[in-house]
Every structure is written in C-alpha cells, then in structure tokens.
Amino acid sequence: MKPKVYFSREITPEKVAALYKLAGKRLDGKVAVKLHSGEVGNQNFLKPEFWKPIIDEVGGTVVECNTAYKGKRDTTAKHLKTLKLHGWSELFEVDLLDAEGPDLVLDIPDGKVINKNYVGKNIKNYDSLLVLSHFKGHPMGGYGGALKQLSIGIASSYGKAYIHGAGNPKEIWTSDHDSFLKSMADAALSIVRYFKGNALYINVMKNMSVDCDCCAVAEDPCMKDIGILVSCDPVAIDKACLDLVYAAKDDPGQKHFLERVESRNGILTVEAAEALGAGTTDYELIEV
C-alpha cells in the first residue's frame, strides 16, 4: 500500500492540527517535537505561535540540538538564549538534546557512507517523534525538509560535523558533496529505525526562500506559499514537496528555487533514503 501524504493549500496553525488528526497516527508516550528554532537574524523560520496548536495537541516537548557552525546556537548557553529570544521556551517545554555529553551513538550497519550517527543523548527519553519541518531551500542540501530534520537536525553538534564530513568531522565543509547527501540519508535511516514507526512528519511550504532557517542572513522567499503536508513516511513527504515545486510552473520564483535544489543535487538525499528503506517516493497525495 502506498503511503498517504495529506495536503492542504490552506496554511493556518489550526489546519496543521486538523491534518494531524486526519492522518490518524497516534503518537504515544512522551513526544519529542523536532523543529527548527531559527538562527538569530533569520526572517523566514516558522514562529512558535504558528506551531502552538499542533504542539499542544500532542502534548510534546520541543527538542533541538546545537549547531556545528559559528552563530547564536553553537553552544548550549547561546542556544538556550536563542530559544528564549525566539519565544520557544516561553510557550513550550524545551529540551536541548545535546546540552551535555556524551552523545548517543546509533549504529547504521548498512549505511552507504557512514555507519554511526551521533545524536543528542536526551532523545532516549522519548517514546515517539513529531517532525515539524519548514520546507525551503538550503545552501548545501539543496532543500530542507523532513529528511534533513531527521539527520542533521537530531544529530549533536559533533554529529552534524560527522555527517557533513561524510564520516570525517575535520572535513565538515570540504567533503565530497554527494557523500554528504548520502550521509544524511544514512543518518535519517537510523532515526526512523530508532522510533520504530512511532513518528509523524509535517512539512509546511511557506516562506519558501532558497536559504535555510540556519542562515542569519537569508534571501527573502522567492516562491508563493503552497501548503501543508502530513505523512508517516519522511521520503514520501519530501518527494511530494519537491513534486509540488515542479508543478508550480506559473510561479515566477520557481526557476530560482529549483536552481538551488538542482545545483546541489538535492534529490540524491531522497533517492538514497529510499534505497536504504527509510521510505518510498511512490506515494498517494490526498488533497483536502
């Protein structure tokens, strides 16, 4: 049976919660809600007020990990200040998964590039996972969606460097590019397996810049908002988002957005994740 991807062109906080209910996936126990806290200076990330209804619906804890690049989120102290500045810790319980070491190491025996994933150790305190992704472009990955959240997002600061470096943190910015993309797929697989199906993915195609929310200085959005997608399959939901971008032929910003995706070979992460068994690109889109 093809995985279902529910899609609505209406983008409101209430619609996110409604689509979650429609998907029919119950997230049991203690729920980790992975989202992007936003680099200080970034104007495009989705704010706490937007995500509040869905986070309240699942009774989840907002989880994040420190970055591997210089900025306002690369140390625990700075990241906690940013979480407060952006309003996350004012509205929700927040857990910085790699606030203190050592990392939790997940084995990936069948990984194509990396065989280990270093993640924030506090992830072991959660029973299920809700991934809230702002779908947009990315300077290195081409695009950012559910697979990036599963891989780079849940990796610790060291783990991020390990993935970027395709297994060698010292080559964080100089490793073979396609090996980095495949490493993201390997890491995403480890998280999919860790939660054993107790996960749900929501992608919101809004404020679609070619740059990530990790950029302190980012381009303004170039495409019109498209909608909200919900699925139990991280590969299917990212592929559905990319397909919707390709279908937006009348959008004057489409060419610019796709240049970012294609110049970075962004589809390779999707293809590699599918080949590993993390999900499938053969999905059923259900517009509601």
Q: Tell me, what's the pLDDT at 131?
A: 99
Q: And the tokens for 6?
A: 């529910």
Torsion angle, alpha carbons of 203, 52, 27, 159, to 10: 60
Q: Tell me what the mean pLDDT of segment 159-165 comes to.
A: 98
Q: Tell me, what's the pLDDT at 116?
A: 98
112-123 residue pLDDT tens: 999 999 999 999
What is the rounded CA–CA span in Å between residue 9 and residue 74?
35
User: Are 214 and 39 spatial neighbours (Cβ–Cβ below 8 Å)?
Assistant: yes
Terminal alpha carbon distance of the chain: 20
Q: Tell me, what's the pLDDT at 77?
A: 98
Q: Tell me what the mean pLDDT of segment 83-93 comes to.
A: 98
Q: Give residue 271's pLDDT band: very low, low, confident or very high (50, 70, 90).
A: very high
Q: Tell me, what's the pLDDT at 269?
A: 98
Q: Tell me, what's the pLDDT at 99?
A: 98
Q: Give residue 267's pLDDT band: very low, low, confident or very high (50, 70, 90).
A: very high
239-266 residue pLDDT tens: 999 999 999 999 999 999 999 999 999 9
Q: Which of 21, 96, 9 is nearest to 56 (CA)?
A: 21
Q: Element (H or E) spanning 279, and its range? A: none
Residue type, 135: F
User: pTM value?
Assistant: 0.98
Q: Tell me what the mean pLDDT of segment 46-51 comes to.
A: 98
Strands (E), the chain: 4-8, 31-34, 61-64, 94-96, 104-107, 116-119, 128-134, 136-138, 142-144, 199-205, 227-231, 284-287
Q: Tell me, what's the pLDDT at 243?
A: 99
Q: Tell me, what's the pLDDT at 205?
A: 99
Q: Tell me, what's the pLDDT at 2?
A: 97
What is the rounded CA–CA span in Å between residue 132 and residue 29?
18
How far, rounded to the nearest angstrom, does the alpha carbon of residue 231 sit from its chain's CA centroid? 13
User: Are 117 and 105 spatial neighbours (Cβ–Cβ below 8 Å)?
Assistant: yes
Q: Give residue 141's pLDDT band: very low, low, confident or very high (50, 70, 90).
A: very high
What is the rounded CA–CA span in Å between residue 182 and residue 146?
15
- Count of C-beta atoms within a 10 Å radius of residue 125: 12
What is the rounded CA–CA span in Å between residue 285 and residue 231?
10
Indicate left, alpha or beta for 166 from its phi (over 0: left) and psi (-120 to 50: alpha).
Answer: left
What is the rounded CA–CA span in Å between residue 219 and residue 44?
9
